[in-house]
Structure 1
Amino acid sequence: MATATNNADELRIQMAQIRRDLHADVRDVVANAEAVADWRRYIRMYPWAALGVSVAAGYLVVPRRRQVVPVPVAIAPDAAEVREVLEQAKEEAKEPARKGLLASAVGFVAPVAMRAAQGYAAQYLETWIAQQQATAGGATPAPPERPGSPGWPQEKTTF
């Protein structure tokens, strides 16, 4: 009986040791996970790589500069000529916007209209084919639902 008690005590001691080791291992895993997720650590360890990544990200995020189109300027312009040139420029600037707006509206509506037209055409063709089959071949009546009812094909048995 003494050996059973000693065995139980040894098991308790081993289990306590395993729990302590497990607790320490979990703490180490948590500390390592926090270290891996800390972005400041990577900046401290690799400052030049972090600088390069930030420059590349800034280059990709910042939009490009707009190109400036030079407008010809008359040396000694007449007021009427200047007004005429300005009005032409305003009209030319408005036309692409109208075309772009109209083109985008057609681009949105055209697929929907095409899908509706295809559905209508398919339905019309199905109806037309069904009518042609009914008039050309004569519609065959469906057999009755249960055997032995009138109209059900009877088998003739001869002995």
Structure 2
Amino acid sequence: MKLSFLLWLASFLPQPAADPLCLATTVYLEARDQSELGQRAVAEVALRRQESGRWGDSVCEVVTAPKQFAPTLVNPGLRLSNVEAWQQAVNVAFAAQKDWQQPIADRHEVVPGASHFAALDLAQPTWRNYPEVATIGSHTFYRVDRLRAR
């Protein structure tokens, strides 16, 4: 399946039905080679951003915001060809969304407070000097509060 097809399909699904598809696509593109914990952390960042409302009102809006997540950074013609990794991403997306629907005190957060992540061997974002929450696999997770004094 091509990335462009998945994003097209998500655009026709009603909200919130499209969100698991967008989240699974993001987990696959960002972390298919990472552990389940690393995949869950990526999903958590997207869900935290959606909850904050600063990046969009739905998960699909969050992960397709320009230059924020892989769905807007990779070639739309990219084929998501690893069926096992796709199934794992779908499982992680659904589990993360289910957990995120719990009251905050009952959630099982992997990267508490993290709103950003980066694979530092591939990118050196300007916000990499903010507090690190965790490093899981090749991703480092950050708590970026643009309101704090620098």
TM class by shorter chain equals under 0.3
Structure with larger RCO (C-alpha < 8 A, sep 6+) = 2
Structure number with the higher helix fraction is 1
Question: Could you tell me the TM-score, scaled by structure 2's length?
Answer: 0.18
Question: Could you tell me the TM-score, scaled by structure 1's length?
Answer: 0.17
Structure number with the higher strand fraction is 2
